[in-house]
Amino acid sequence: MTVAVYAADPVLRVGVVHQLRQRPEVDLLDDADAERAQASLVVVDTVDDDVASLLDRLRLNTATRTGLVVGTLGSGALQRVIECGVAAVLRRSDAHQDQLLQLVQAIANGEGVLPGDLLGKLLSHVSSLQRSALDPRGLSLSTLTTREADMLRLVSEGLDTAEIARKTSYSERTVKNVLHEIITRLQLRNRSHAVGYALRNGLI
């Protein structure tokens, strides 16, 4: 795996480079070749404006994915680094050789990595966003609106158009239009295919 390491603090950089250089699976690139790395590791104490700016620049290079090794991640910083395209986060206190290698492998394989407590915070944030911003507008973070999901649930229970219309207080024409919109937008074949797709993807 080709890896580029970015750190404003030379001591942090030397520490991470030393750990990774001992692993034969890792090919560390120098600054001149950094843009062709499969994985970019940004090693910092905290996420400030300069770090966010670097992460934004790295995001523009679609050939590489970015991981963050950070001392502390303050309130709101997790969302900020995710918006900057960071695929994986590791605390510096956990950044021994095996953990660094696992982080690099996950990034190169297109996986995301977060410490458990940060994952919990992210899920809580997403849940809060759904409740406060999207639910009142009948919207959803999934590819289905609340109304679409409700109608597909009823289809999955074996109800036909007339029964769904009675249950939801919509006209039969509206029910048909909503279901047709789902099938067309998601490029599915029919209602059964739509229900299967929604179940497989956790949308209903």
Q: What is the pLDDT of residues 179-200, one digit of tens each?
A: 999 999 888 889 888 888 888 8
Token pair in block for residue 8: 């404003």
CA distance between the termini of the chain: 39
CATH 3.40.50.2300 residue spans of the chain: 2-120
pLDDT of 50 above 70: yes
Q: What is the overall mean pLDDT for the chain?
A: 86
Q: CA-based angle 16:20:26, to the nearest 5?
A: 140
Token pair in block for residue 166: 């009675």
The pLDDT-based confidence of 16 (bands split at 50, 70, 90) is very high
| pLDDT at position 176 | 95
CATH number of 2-120: 3.40.50.2300
- Contact at 8 Å (CB) between 69 and 5? no
- Contact at 8 Å (CB) between 191 and 179? yes
- What's the CA gap between 112 and 176, in Å, rounded? 39
Orientation angle between helical segments 10-21 and 97-108, nearest 10 degrees: 80
| pLDDT at position 52 | 92
User: What is the per-residue pLDDT across 25-45, written as a single tens digit (0 to 9) for each?
Assistant: 999 998 888 888 999 999 999
- What's the CA gap between 117 and 161, in Å, rounded? 45
What CATH architecture applies to the domain 142-201? Answer: Orthogonal Bundle (1.10)
CA distances in angstroms from 176 to 79, 105, 165, 179, 197, listed in the order given? 39, 47, 9, 5, 18
| pLDDT at position 79 | 82
User: What is the per-residue pLDDT across 101-146, written as a single tens digit (0 to 9) for each?
Assistant: 999 998 888 888 888 777 777 767 666 665 676 566 665 556 788 8
